Amino acid sequence: MNRLLAALALGLGLLTALPAQADAIQRLREYVQETKTLRGSFEQTVQDRKGRKAQESRGSFQFSRPGKFRWVYDKPYEQLIVGDGEKIWIHDKDLEQVTVKKMGKAIGQSPAALLAGSNEIDKHYDLRDLGSKKGLEWLEAIPKDKESSFEKVRLGFKGSQLEAMELSDNFGQLTTLRFSGLIRNPGLGADLFRFTPPKGTDVIGDD
């Protein structure tokens, strides 16, 4: 659950064009200040601790800072994750199940603090510029909260665009996100960030 939420939250928004002359840390800080909404598509790959591909998925997302997002998995299975500013709702259509949890600490302990949360990046993360590798400029963010489900998050910029995100979790798994079709600061309707469990669906958690 926490790994999924973190991957979702990071995919929500650290993927926007920022000034090319800035280093990766400065780009991130400018992103937090300047990007209020974002939408786009993603491809996600998960590898186990031995580097074997465990899962591939793809879909689309929208987010509106602070604290609101909509993350949709289309393939290989349908799943909807909605953050309404107070709670996070995870709807597994095939299972006819909704899991809900309070957003507060979930956002603070995950990479969501970098994008859909507040502007207090340094409160939640230690940031380090990693330099250039494989054609991208990389930034590393290490959670200060030792209970975080992630050990570190790496963001890869190409010029002024964030191209890749790598999330290393406490189970030795590596989640990689690639983004496309990004539109920065679009107008997004409030209904995107509301969720009502469908009739007949089991609801589990903090509702």
Return the CATH architecture of domain 2-205: Clam (2.50)
pLDDT higher than 90, residue 196:
yes
Per-chain mean pLDDT for the chain: 80
Please work out, in degrees rounded to the nearest 5, the angle formed at the alpha carbon of residue 178 by the alpha carbons of 175 and 181: 150
Alpha carbon distance 52, 187 (integer Å)? 40
- Tens of pLDDT, residue by residue over 89-110, are 999 988 999 999 887 666 655 5
pLDDT of residue 91: 93
pLDDT of residue 130: 92
Q: Among 26-30, 65-69, 117-121, which range has the highest average pLDDT? A: 65-69
CB of 100 closer than 8 Å to CB of 90: yes
pLDDT band, very low/low/confident/very high, at 119 (cuts 50, 70, 90): low
Residue 190 buriedness (CB in 10 A; 0-12 / 13-18 / 19+):
exposed
pTM of the entire predicted model: 0.79
Q: What is the mean pLDDT of residues 38-43?
A: 89
- Tens of pLDDT, residue by residue over 53-86, are 888 999 998 888 888 889 899 988 899 989 898 8
**Of 99-108, 167-176, 180-189, which gets the smallest average pLDDT?**
99-108
Residue whose tokens read 């469990």: 197
Alpha carbon distance 184, 37 (integer Å)? 6
pLDDT of residue 108: 54
Alpha carbon distance 173, 152 (integer Å)? 11
More confident residue, 19 or 91: 91
